[in-house]
Amino acid sequence: MSLTNVAVLAFDGVAPFELGILCEAFGIDRTADGVPPIDFAVCAEDDRPMRTSAGFSMQAAHGLDRVATADLVGVPAMKQAEPSDAVIEAIRAAHDRGARILSVCSGAFMLGQAGLLDGRECTTHWMYTERLQREFPAAKVVPEVLYVDAGQVVTGAGSAAGLDAALHIWRQEHGASIANIIARRAVVPPYRDGGQAQYISRAVPDCEADTLGPLLTWILENLGEDHGVEALAKRALMSPRTFARRFRDETGTTPHHWVTRQRVAAAEELLERTEQPVEWIAGEVGFGNAATLRHHFVRVRGVSPQSYRRQFAC
């Protein structure tokens, strides 16, 4: 897919925040910052006002014919409303001609109605995952993740996770540096580790919510240091057991997994922006040697560092 033409669907009952997530990710002209231009449109079945789930009305400037030319179709959440047959058919037709489809939150249900989830891994907000599986038993619902990339179909979990999914698509198409520009403009992390399991049925206690923030910042600024549990626990003035538990509570993952992801992200930047050899980059980000970097890079990104550099080097 070439990410140059994006159409986002709107309909009665559309959730404005989730619609806004897609507009933020793809509808703002950031060419002055070096981001490739996007031909973007919000589309609806007709030009009649649509009532959003927040109670106000809106109109779209484009019809469903615009969806037929898009190479990415965004489907925001819907609440207490049923999409028309024409909207469902527009989603199905876009998929059948090869367009990529991205749903946010409960927008996954429209993908299910279009028959696009059968046999595919997918996700939605944790409140709706059981219902999604029940209504579409042929789907492979993954409840604990922020988004699922099933190739042509990408499904985001809860509302803000739609931005994680959108940044993932930008990263795939144009590399980490472009995704990072968009993330910085939106004032969000370019890669959010952990999954939505950390939000299910509980919230992180207020007294603990940000206790590790300074330590995480230090890790990012010193990726080449020893970041084993014992060393980090000592810096945080905690026992290793307490530290490991607190780290999982606040990030949703283990220290090793979180640090590995940050090192891979840093390696991406260096692969794109420098001509330094992979061995040097491995040492700079804390992997120690090229073999270890290659092992983790392939596991996280699915390609070797050399392949990534060939595709995204500036």
Residue 196: the pLDDT is: 67
Q: How far apart are CA 161 and CA 198, in angstroms?
A: 13
Is the model's pLDDT at 197 over the cut of 70?
Answer: no
Which residue intervals of 115-224 are DSSP H helices?
Answer: 129-135, 161-174, 176-186, 213-221
Lowest-pLDDT range, 37-46, 57-66, 79-88? Answer: 79-88
pLDDT band for position 244 (cuts 50, 70, 90): very high
- Determine the average pLDDT of the residues in 269-294: 93
Domain ranges of the chain: 5-186, 206-314
- Determine the average pLDDT of the residues in 35-51: 95
Residue 206: the pLDDT is: 33
Say which residue, 117 or 200, is predicted with more confidence. 117
The dihedral sign for the CA sequence 144, 227, 309, 279: negative
- Determine the average pLDDT of the residues in 178-191: 84
Q: How far apart are CA 171 and CA 177, in angstroms?
A: 8
Domain 5-186, CATH class in plain words: alpha beta
Is the model's pLDDT at 7 over the cut of 50?
Answer: yes
Is the model's pLDDT at 80 over the cut of 70?
Answer: no
Domain 206-314, CATH class in plain words: mainly alpha
Residue 209: the pLDDT is: 35
pLDDT one-digit tens code per residue, 114-159: 999 999 999 999 899 999 999 999 999 998 888 999 999 999 998 8
Helix axes 305-312, 290-301, angle to 10 degrees: 70
> In sequence order, which residues have a C-beta less than 8 Å from that of residue 46 and are 6 or more positions away?
63
* Residue 121 per-residue DSSP state: E
Q: What is the CA radius of gyration of the chain?
A: 21
The dihedral sign for the CA sequence 293, 298, 301, 305: positive
- Determine the average pLDDT of the residues in 223-251: 91
Quick check: pTM over 0.85?
no
Average per-residue pLDDT for the chain: 89
Is the model's pLDDT at 79 over the cut of 90?
Answer: no
> In sequence order, which residues have a C-beta less than 8 Å from that of residue 299 and are 6 or more positions away?
none
pLDDT one-digit tens code per residue, 84-120: 999 999 999 999 999 999 999 999 999 999 999 999 9
Residue 203: the pLDDT is: 30
Is the model's pLDDT at 248 over the cut of 60?
Answer: yes
Rounded (5°) CA angle 133-139-145 = 75
Is the model's pLDDT at 230 over the cut of 80?
Answer: yes
pLDDT band for position 204 (cuts 50, 70, 90): very low
Lowest-pLDDT range, 19-23, 133-137, 181-185? Answer: 181-185
* Complete DSSP assignment for 209-222: TTTTHHHHHHHHHT
